């Protein structure tokens, strides 16, 4: 078993492109915040122009089309094909599984590197309470259809106190669906989770006792598994992706963030104005990345401090890693 921390690099970039915020579901942990992200749907012309802003580094940029639900966009296939012409390093569609507008009939496995399906429970009962009625069956059906057409399929499982108990049942489901890559995410205290408290993050003890074991079990079957580092070890050095990596989170209202934890606030690093990316005035997120604190991630301390614990003398019991720092496990070749 090969386990490694995926290091940040300026030579690799990730572009998370929200082409709309509309969705047919209403997941209890949805991070979309219309007040901050807008509620419009970008035209295909605008999508193509905005993709062009990142074209110079497209060859080393991983592009992820998101929403809302991106397959609700009638021109998603045209956007995908344009991105392929721009030669992005990889192209992924994140979907809730409903696969609207016959998207599987309009693109081919050569157009995208993966279709990533969100599933937040090993059973219909747990998943549908979190994501909405019918979503479990939609994901299972969508994966079967996509695999039949030859698409590479990944799966995202966002861990919270509502579904941690079923994560240990995921290895069998992942195997039965022939999933190629499995992503475990930690729920962020933003969007609906921040406002309603219906989903909360699990403790350090629970995270470390469950996540690595399940990840290794799934990886033993040949599936590549990725999950966030979250808690730094004593010997680990803290690094902020906002400083040492190129990650961009683009929303339909033109806001461009460098850190996903900031997305509930007007702290975005850039704004796209007249199809040009303009630095946002101070104070924005980039002015906070350089701050050094004992807790590790300063944005976590400011925005979601609930997963921090302190010793009797007031010092942090542990440090929080940058949310973009990942662990990757794969079976040895």
DSSP string for 246-270 = EEEEE-TTSEEES-GGGTTTT--SE
Q: How far apart, in whole angstroms, are the C-alpha atoms of residue 162 and residue 171?
A: 18
Q: How far apart, in whole angstroms, are the C-alpha atoms of residue 200 and residue 248?
A: 26
The pair of three-digit structure tokens given for residue 227, joined into one six-digit string: 């999950």
Q: How far is CA 66 from CA 8, 41, 94, in A?
A: 22, 12, 6
Q: Is 284 within 8 Å of 263 (Cβ atoms)?
A: no
For the chain, what is the mean pLDDT? 94
- Of 266, 291, 292, the C-alpha closest to 281 is 266
**Residue range 321-331, pLDDT digits in tens:** 999 999 999 98
Q: Give the per-residue pLDDT at 272.
A: 98
Is residue 290 classed exposed, middle or buried when 0-12, 13-18 and 19+ CB atoms within 10 A define those classes? exposed
Hey, what domains does the chain have and what are their CATH numbers?
A: 2-330 (3.20.20.70)
Q: Give the per-residue pLDDT at 192.
A: 76
pTM for this predicted structure: 0.95
Q: Give the per-residue pLDDT at 11.
A: 80
pLDDT(305) > 90: no
pLDDT(333) > 70: no
Q: Give the per-residue pLDDT at 198.
A: 60
Q: Span 271-288, mean pLDDT?
A: 96
Q: Is 63 within 8 Å of 83 (Cβ atoms)?
A: yes
Q: How confident is residue 190, by pLDDT bands cut at 50, 70 and 90? A: confident
Q: How far apart, in whole angstroms, are the C-alpha atoms of residue 149 and residue 225?
A: 23
pLDDT(102) > 60: yes
Q: Span 300-327, mean pLDDT?
A: 92
């Amino acid at each position: 078993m090969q386990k490694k921390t995926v290091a940040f690099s300026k030579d690799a970039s990730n572009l998370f492109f929200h082409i709309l915020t509309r969705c047919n579901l209403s997941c209890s942990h949805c991070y979309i915040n219309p007040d901050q992200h807008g509620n419009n749907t970008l035209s295909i012309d605008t999508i193509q122009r905005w993709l062009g802003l990142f074209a110079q580094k497209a060859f080393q940029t991983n592009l992820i089309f998101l929403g809302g639900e991106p397959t609700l966009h009638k021109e998603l296939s045209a956007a995908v094909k344009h991105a392929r012409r721009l030669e992005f390093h990889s192209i992924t569609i994140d979907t809730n599984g409903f696969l609207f507008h016959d998207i599987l009939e309009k693109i081919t496995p050569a157009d995208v590197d993966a279709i990533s399906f969100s599933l937040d429970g090993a059973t219909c009962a747990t998943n549908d309470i979190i994501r909405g009625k019918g979503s479990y069956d939609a994901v299972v059906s969508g994966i079967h259809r996509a695999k039949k057409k030859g698409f590479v399929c990944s799966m995202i499982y966002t861990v919270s106190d509502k579904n941690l108990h079923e994560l240990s049942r995921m290895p069998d489901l992942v195997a039965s669906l022939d999933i190629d890559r499995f992503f475990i995410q930690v729920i962020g205290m933003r969007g609906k989770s921040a406002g309603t408290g219906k989903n909360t993050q699990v403790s350090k003890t629970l995270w470390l006792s469950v996540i690595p074991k399940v990840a290794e079990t799934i990886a033993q079957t040949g599936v590549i598994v990725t999950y966030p580092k979250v808690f730094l070890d004593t010997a680990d050095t803290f690094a902020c992706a906002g400083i040492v990596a190129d990650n961009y989170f683009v929303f339909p209202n033109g806001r461009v963030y460098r850190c996903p934890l900031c997305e509930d606030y007007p702290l975005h690093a850039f704004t796209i104005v007249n199809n040009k990316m303009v630095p946002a005035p101070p104070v924005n997120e980039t002015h906070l990345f350089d701050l050094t604190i004992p807790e590790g991630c300063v944005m976590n301390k400011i925005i979601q401090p609930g997963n921090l614990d302190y010793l009797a003398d007031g010092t942090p019991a542990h440090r929080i890693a940058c949310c973009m720092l990942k662990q990757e496990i794969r079976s040895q070749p």
